[in-house]
Amino acid sequence: MEIIFSKYDAAKYPFLPIAREYVKELGYDLNEFNESNSYILDKSLKRILLALDNKPSKELGEPDEEIISFLISLLILNILDIRSVSKRFALAEAERIENFIENDLKDENERRRESILRYIFENTLGLKIIEDSMQKYKIKVAEYLRRSVNLHDPHWRLINKDVYEGYVHLEIHDIVRLIREEIALLIYEKIEKMNVKDIPESIKNRVEILRRYTINDKRFKPIIIVNKYPPCINHILSTLEKNDNVSHTARFLLATYMLAIGKSIDDTCSLFEHAPDYNEKITRYQVEFLAGKRGNRKSYNCPSCEKIASMNLCYKNEECDNIRTPLQFGMKRNG
């Protein structure tokens, strides 16, 4: 079956090759985007700022403006060259794209749904999805496990899913959520691969505006890793500093360790600000819950080294000196 996508699809899914092909057909030149075209430049900058605040527009604007502003946003971020900013933008854009995919998969036109499944899921992401029934889809168990491994809510546990004949059966919302990180990675890679010479001053000006915006924002400052922390904790901090997400168990370990050594709730929460999926309210609630300030008012202990090893979070070295808990790191042990 032929896959038919329009310019509106290119606007909704600007990370796909069809968007780049459409721009080529329009014959735009980067030098056209000077201050006389400030509207589209400002729209690109606003698109980035909304993404950094996790408030991407859910509405689809005029197709040409949507596609061009996306591409200029990528260029601005490439020049800015701050990994955490690029990661946050990519994730927010991926969440926006989720909404469009979900709506398209609810389309009554079977041909339309099939086009989305083939072009985005199969051709772009290499994920074979079968429409089980209207509003229900299935994927192989192995594909589900590979994509759900970093989704921490019990909702995503295989035991809580309909599984038979080697397939996991999912609602539309879940099947779309599974690919969020992959789309975010595609967008991030596009930012990294941008290679444009002779950047117009008008675009450089927007880069400096964005730089001034981010320079005093604590979310984009590097994490200071000190040697006094045990290697398991430093590994988690290093991962966060790269603006990569860490598992639920790693978050639990980091939070309970920091609280146990006397760090405040504010200081502990701040360590998670570099995570691309960081949400201030959710993070604070979870840390306060672990500290015994919410829910059942029970404070949680830092896991033992044995438990940490069972969670595949142990990175022990000679300095660990057979300690039984990370809290003993650096203390001189007797016999």
Whole-number pLDDT of residue 3: 59
What CA dihedral angle connects 293, 298, 302 and 304, to 10 degrees?
180
Distances from the Cα of 162 to the Cαs of 142, 155, 318, in angstroms? 14, 12, 46
Q: Yes or no: say if 211 and 80 are a contact pair by the CB < 8 Å rule.
A: yes
Rounded Cα distance between 280 and 58, Å, is: 21
CA pair distance 95, 293, nearest whole angstrom: 31
What's the pTM value of the predicted model, to 2 decimals? Answer: 0.75
Q: State residue 32's pLDDT score.
A: 74
Find out if CATH 1.10.10 is the number for domain 231-328.
Answer: no
pLDDT of the residue at 55: 87
Return d(Cα 282, Cα 251) in angstroms, integer.
13
Domain ranges of the chain: 7-124+180-212, 128-178, 231-328
Write down the pLDDT at residue 225: 57
pLDDT given at position 226 = 57
- pLDDT of 21 reads 85
Helices (H), the chain: 7-12, 17-26, 38-52, 63-80, 83-105, 110-116, 141-148, 172-177, 180-193, 201-215, 231-241, 248-260, 265-270, 280-290, 305-310
**Exposed (0-12), middle (13-18) or buried (19+): which is 109, by Cβ within 10 Å?**
exposed
DSSP sequence for 267-296 = HHHHTTTTSTT--HHHHHHHHHHHTTSSTT
Structure-block tokens of residue 25: 């057909």
Burial profile 290-318: b = 16 or more Cβ within 10 angstroms, e = fewer: bbeeeeeeeeeebbebeebeeeebbbbee
pLDDT averaged per 10 residues, the chain (length 335): 75 91 80 80 94 88 92 94 90 94 88 87 90 84 88 84 92 92 93 88 92 82 69 91 84 93 89 84 91 86 92 88 86 48
